[in-house]
């Protein structure tokens, strides 16, 4: 599913493009995405710096066990398209299509934001991607991974690896979807992320 930001970006008047080196685009893109995720807000509002968490989320490629979770990887391609549409930036050697998964694997940050965007759409409320992104981090226990908390890069990587390898509990503990007691559906761990999100919404009454 393509998240709503994709359609919003399509309505914008195309801006003049500027081609920059790929590394320069990556830096600008991840800064843009981190702002949408609320990292600057957390620092300005609560004085909590999450630089290490952000860095690990950017540097960790998203991998999947369930074959259908590849669809979540393609959500990352949407965000790159949106960024190019909004900023006018493109990068040298950019492929004609947005599906540059092999040349530039999607990061965990992009995938979590993609799932958050779909959650925003499903919730039919005024919530945005930032809200759901931090809900998912809270479910992973990474909302406490501010700089100086003791949850260093190694710990964060282990948490993300456990989630991606589906080594979490049947009630979602260790996953981005944590269920209330006795509310986790049967077979939750065997479902693709999209259907896990649907189960999560139904169990929590969203």
Print pLDDT tens along the chain (206 aa). 445 454 455 455 455 677 878 888 889 889 999 999 999 888 888 888 999 999 999 999 999 999 999 999 888 778 888 887 777 777 777 665 455 666 788 999 999 999 999 999 888 777 889 999 999 999 999 999 999 888 999 999 999 999 999 999 999 999 999 998 888 888 999 999 999 999 999 998 77
Strands (E), the chain: 18-20, 89-91
Question: What is the rounded CA–CA span in Å between residue 25 and residue 91?
Answer: 6
- Give the model's pLDDT for residue 2: 45
For 19, list phi and psi in degrees, rounded to 5.
-90, 130
CA 15, chain centre distance (Å): 26
Q: At a CB cut-off of 8 Å and minimum separation 6, what does 16 contact? A: 88
Query: By the 8 A CB rule, do 126 and 120 touch?
Result: no
Question: What is the rounded CA–CA span in Å between residue 111 and residue 124?
Answer: 20
- Give the model's pLDDT for residue 1: 46
What is the model's pTM?
0.88
Buried b (16+ CB within 10 A) or exposed e, 162-191: ebbeeebeebbebbbbbbeeeebbeebbeb
């Amino acid at each position: 599913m393509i998240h709503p930001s994709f359609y919003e970006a399509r309505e914008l008047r195309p801006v003049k493009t500027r081609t920059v080196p790929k590394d320069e685009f990556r830096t600008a893109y991840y800064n843009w995405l981190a702002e949408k995720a609320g990292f600057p807000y957390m620092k300005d509002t609560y004085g909590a710096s999450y630089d290490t968490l952000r860095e690990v989320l950017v540097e960790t490629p998203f991998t999947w066990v369930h074959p259908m979770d590849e669809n979540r990887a393609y959500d990352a391609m949407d965000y790159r398209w949106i960024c190019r549409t909004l900023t006018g930036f493109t990068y040298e050697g950019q492929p004609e299509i947005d599906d540059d998964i092999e040349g530039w694997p999607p990061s965990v940050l992009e995938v979590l934001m993609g799932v958050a965007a779909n959650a925003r759409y499903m919730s039919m409320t005024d919530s945005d991607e930032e809200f759901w992104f931090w809900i998912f981090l809270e479910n992973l226990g990474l909302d406490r991974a501010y700089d100086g908390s003791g949850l260093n890069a190694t710990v964060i990587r282990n948490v993300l690896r456990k989630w991606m390898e589906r080594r979490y509990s049947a009630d979602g503990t260790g996953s981005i979807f944590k269920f209330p007691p006795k509310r986790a559906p049967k077979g939750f761990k065997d479902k693709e992320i999209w259907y896990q999100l649907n189960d999560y919404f139904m169990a929590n009454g969203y």
